[in-house]
């Protein structure tokens, strides 16, 4: 138990099939949490990660849920609670980046970035906090780009990451 500070806790990591989200999911599981991880296009990677976690003695389930799809996000929260019985930690990790000069940035790309990087975070958080009790945690994976944008074309991505950074659900009862 000393090495598993999150024993008995349940975590949901959005975009947990690859990259940073996969590393977060693994660490949460290593620390004792049962983990649900979402993905969109990589069922194999998501299932493999869930198997790796399970083989290491942890508990994990992969759930297909596009963060741009409100119902899918709500269902992912519900499936997490149905599978593991509770929800203590939400990691808002899923995020996409589209780069283009502002005068060429399409509204479709703008709407998609906002849907995944901002609205998906709001919906997941809104749904998750309804299940969280004392000590619940909502973790936002932002980006340094919300403060500094070293590459041309990153301004809309930075905008969405700035919104995520400024979203403080814990300040709203």
Q: Which is nearer to ligand NAP, 9 or 161 (CB)?
A: 161
Query: How many Cβ atoms from other residues are within 10 Å of residue 73's Cβ?
Result: 26
Question: CB of 41: closest distance to ligand NAP in angstroms?
Answer: 4
Contact with ligand NAP (CB under 6 A) among 5, 19, 71, 152: 19
Burial class (CB in 10 A: 0-12, 13-18, 19+), 31: middle
- Residues 23-42 touching ligand NAP, rule: CB under 6 A, are 38-42
Query: How many Cβ atoms from other residues are within 10 Å of residue 4's Cβ?
Result: 15
**Sign of the alpha-carbon torsion through 11, 160, 41, 70:** positive
Give yes or no for residue 45 binding ligand NAP (CB under 6 A). yes
Contact with ligand NAP (CB under 6 A) among 96, 114, 132, 163: 96
> Among the candidate windows 49-57, 62-70, 124-132, 146-154, which touches ligand NAP by CB under 6 A?
62-70
Active site residues: 157
Binding site for ligand NAP (CB under 6 A): 14-21, 38-42, 45, 66-68, 93-96, 116, 141, 143
């Amino acid at each position: 138990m000393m090495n598993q500070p999150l024993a008995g806790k349940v975590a949901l990591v959005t975009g947990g099939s690859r990259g940073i989200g996969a590393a977060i999911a693994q660490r949460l599981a290593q620390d004792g949490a049962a983990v649900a991880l979402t993905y969109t296009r990589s069922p194999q990677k998501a299932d493999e990660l869930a198997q790796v976690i399970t083989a290491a003695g942890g508990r994990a389930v992969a759930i297909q849920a596009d963060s741009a799809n409100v119902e899918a996000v709500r269902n992912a929260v519900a499936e997490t609670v149905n599978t593991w019985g509770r929800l203590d930690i939400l990691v808002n990790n899923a995020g996409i980046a589209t780069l283009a000069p502002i005068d060429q940035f399409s509204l479709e790309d703008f709407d998609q970035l906002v849907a995944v990087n901002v609205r998906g975070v709001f919906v997941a958080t809104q749904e998750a906090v309804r299940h969280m009790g004392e000590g619940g945690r909502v973790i936002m994976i932002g980006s340094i780009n919300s403060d500094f944008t070293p590459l041309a074309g990153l301004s809309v991505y930075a905008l969405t990451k700035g919104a995520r950074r400024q979203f403080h659900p814990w300040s709203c009862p």
